[in-house]
Amino acid sequence: HWTLLSVSLLNCLLSTACSVGLALAIALTVHGRGTHLVRGCNSSALPADARTAIATNDCPFNTTRIYDTALALWFPSLLLAAAEAVLSGRCCLVALVFRGIGPCAHSCEKEQV
């Protein structure tokens, strides 16, 4: 029970941190219209808006669809990380109930008997 409690609590904290980080990345990318995504490119040929970026040899990656691709990958990752945090929180509550700690620990023990 202690292993379930510690692992689920750790996973809940990590998943929550991942969700917050992804939400921040999405917010910064949308607010800055993707300029942070092409910041590693020092070419003056790149426009300020990453949605209209062109592929140049000065950039170590293809910038043509970086804005849409990043958001298309980050939104599902955010949803999955949030779902993982919720499920890990529920596992943590179950581990607390198994240890006899928590809001319904005593009533659940009577039901099991």
Residue 30 lies in a domain: yes
Give the Cβ contact number of residue 109 at 10 Å: 12
Q: Which residue segment(s) compose the domain that 95 sits in?
A: 1-38+64-99
Please give the pLDDT value at position 110: 46
Residue 58 lies in a domain: no
pTM: 0.71
Give the Cβ contact number of residue 35 at 10 Å: 17
Residue 112 lies in a domain: no
Please give the pLDDT value at position 59: 65
For residues 15 and 84, is the Cβ–Cβ distance under 8 A?
yes
d(CA 8, CA 94): 10
Q: How many domains does the chain have?
A: 1
Residue 110 lies in a domain: no
**Tens place of pLDDT for every residue, the chain, 113 residues?**
788 888 999 999 999 999 999 999 999 888 887 777 776 666 555 555 555 555 555 566 666 677 788 889 999 999 999 999 999 999 888 888 877 776 666 665 545 53
Residue 111 lies in a domain: no
Residue 59 lies in a domain: no
